[in-house]
Amino acid sequence: MKKVFLETFGCQMNVSDSERVATTLSARGYEMTPMQSDADVILINTCSVREKAELKLYSQVGRIRKHFEKKPVVGVMGCVAQLEGETLFDKIEGVDLVIGTRAVGRVAEALDDVFKGGGQVADLGEREPDYDWDVAEPQRHSPYVAFIPIIEGCNKFCTYCIVPFSRGREVSLPASEIVRQVLELRRQGVKEIHLIGQNVNSYKPSDESGLESFPGKTPFSQLLRAVAATGIERIKFNTSFPRDFHDDIVDAIEENDNLCNWVHLPVQSGSDQVLRAMKRLHTVDRYKSKIDRIKSSPRNIALTTDIIVGFPGETREDFEKTAELFEYCEYDMAYIFKYSPRFGTPSFKMADDVTLEEKTARFNELEKIQKRFQTESLSRYNGKTISVLAEKFSAKSQDDLSGHSTCHRVVNFKGSARMLGQIVDVRVTEVKANSLYGEAV
């Protein structure tokens, strides 16, 4: 049996694709291995969102070629594969297989072809719309947590972003299919599902069956209600696009305990001028009014965001507006990125005029503000009892378990193996930099 090692970079869409690939490969006579040195095939699921992410592919293939005596078949999947296609065979020596994001369902066929002596194989073809969750023993990052892509692709074309090019146009899965998957996962013992997509709240299925029971709401909040009605213990969703974030999403959270209290709402900048140049389609004021609604909720909804510093033309003054917005929103967590020009995007043509030193300085400044709010937000849990899904043994100690709270905080705690897969009450006894520590009560 050929052994496959699969490494995943990038966002949760890639994680989900990798899970799907692992499941299909296992069903098709390949064996997934956690040992890279042992593998007959190394698949790299790539990300292209920033230059650094893309460079990981090059360094990985270089490392494989240098250190591995046994020459494994090397396959490139994901966004770099979709964007670069067959040119990767020339750009990187030692690549045998290129599988685009749209051909991810056909990795097994492509690998079969390589082993049949087909030489270098590339498939960037059309993506098949639905996939088979009924395959025995699905391979997921956790047996208790599952990702369900509800919308693929992106139509927004923010000027800096490569994703619309690597993932194509938005396609929403029918609600009835999503609900079917949730029910099936629940039957398999999954406790928490994440509805995922580049912009989940732009959800707009062409077939609205499954949403009839929730009239008068936006399609995404209808979907949330329909999924909540399945009775699955926990539902999380990300990412949300600010322009399409409507109050009825918060209403849905307030009406359903199993809709978790966490919203990831990337703002990117606190300056209207920069937001316009980014084509984010929202203003700071409109964003703030959405934040006000989220913060007004008795559900105590955790709020996280993404930020880009050093976008072309971002002045010191623009940056200070971002810092002010951070003070206003008091994010529980923020992912801060330095602007990275991506070939083929509209902003690639704009002068990348904020120096790296200045980008770094702005990054550090924001990070400092962020850490302050993060520490404050974590400290509020000290001494409190929160509900945690026990997902696995902690990486540091076999006596501890690790999981997430409803607001998506990492919580490590003293507990026993029989708790795995259960939602347990944990009393928080210690606040760490990025996580909480406690004991099961």
- Show the site string, 224-263: x = touches ligand SF4 by CB under 6 A, - = not: -----------------x----------------------
Distance of CA 203 to the CA centre of its chain: 16
Q: Is 158 in the site for ligand SF4 (CB under 6 A)?
A: yes
Q: How far is the CB of 198 from ligand SF4 (least distance, A)?
A: 4
CB atoms within 10 A of CB 107: 26
Closer Cβ to ligand SAH, 8 or 239, answer by number:
239
Near ligand F3S in 42-81, by CB under 6 A? 47-49, 78-79
Among 107, 308, 334, 390, binds ligand SAH (CB under 6 A): 308
302 scored as a contact of ligand F3S (CB under 6 A): no
Interface region with ligand SAH, contact rule CB under 6 A, candidates 97-105, 115-123, 158-166, 255-263 = 158-166
Position among 18, 23, 26, 198 found at the interface with ligand SF4 (CB under 6 A): 198
**Whose CA is closest to 263, among 233, 240, 297?**
240
Exactly one of 14, 181, 304, 322 binds ligand F3S (CB under 6 A); that residue is 14
Identify which of residues 162 and 223 has a Cβ nearer to ligand F3S in the complex. Answer: 162
The whole-angstrom separation of Cα 127 and Cα 110 is 14
Distance of alpha carbon 110 from alpha carbon 122, whole angstroms: 8
Closest separation between CB of residue 248 and ligand F3S, Å? 27
Which position among 98, 154, 325, 401 is part of the footprint of ligand SF4 (CB under 6 A)? 154
Q: Is 436 in the site for ligand SF4 (CB under 6 A)?
A: no
Q: Does position 337 bind ligand SAH by CB under 6 A?
A: yes
Minimum CB distance to ligand SF4 smaller for 19 or for 152: 152
Taking the CA atoms of residue 145, residue 146, residue 151 and residue 156 in that order, the dihedral angle to the nearest 10 degrees is 40
Q: How far is the CB of 237 from ligand SF4 (least distance, A)?
A: 15
**147's tokens:** 């990702």
Least Å from the CB of residue 97 to ligand F3S: 18
Taking the alpha carbons of 280, 282, 285, 290 in that order, is the dihedral positive or negative?
A: negative
Strands annotated E in 375-415: 385-393, 400-405, 410-414
Number of residues that bind ligand SF4 (CB under 6 A): 10
The least distance separating ligand F3S from the CB of residue 153, rounded to whole angstroms, comes to 9
Residues forming a β-bridge with 217: none
Considering the rule CB under 6 A, would residue 267 count as an interface residue with ligand SF4?
no
Q: How far is CA 273 from CA 94, 334, 351, in A?
A: 45, 21, 16
Residue with tokens 């923020």: 334
CB of 46 to ligand F3S, least distance (A): 7
Bridge partners of 401, per DSSP, are 393, 413
251's contact among ligand F3S, ligand SAH, ligand SF4, none, with CB below 5 to 8 A by partner kind, is: none
Please, which residues bridge with residue 172 across strands? 151
164 interacts with, out of ligand SAH, ligand SF4, ligand F3S, none, CB within 5 to 8 A per kind:
ligand SF4
Stretch that binds ligand SF4, among 63-71, 111-119, 156-164, 317-325 (CB under 6 A): 156-164
Q: Looking only at residues 273 through 302 of this chain, which bind ligand SAH when binding is defined by CB under 6 A?
A: none
Q: Does 14 contact ligand SAH by CB under 6 A?
A: no
Q: What is residue 434's three-state secondary structure? A: coil
Crossing angle for the helix pair 219-228 and 247-255, to the nearest 10 degrees: 10
Q: Is the CB of 271 or the CB of 412 nearer to ligand SAH?
A: 271
Phi-psi sector, 412: left (phi>0), alpha (psi -120 to 50), beta: beta
Alpha-carbon span 40 to 42, nearest angstrom: 7
Closest separation in Å from C-beta 256 to ligand F3S: 28
* Max CA separation in the chain (angstroms): 62
Is-contact 43 75, C-beta < 8 A? yes
Pairwise CA distance, residues 63 & 59, whole Å: 6
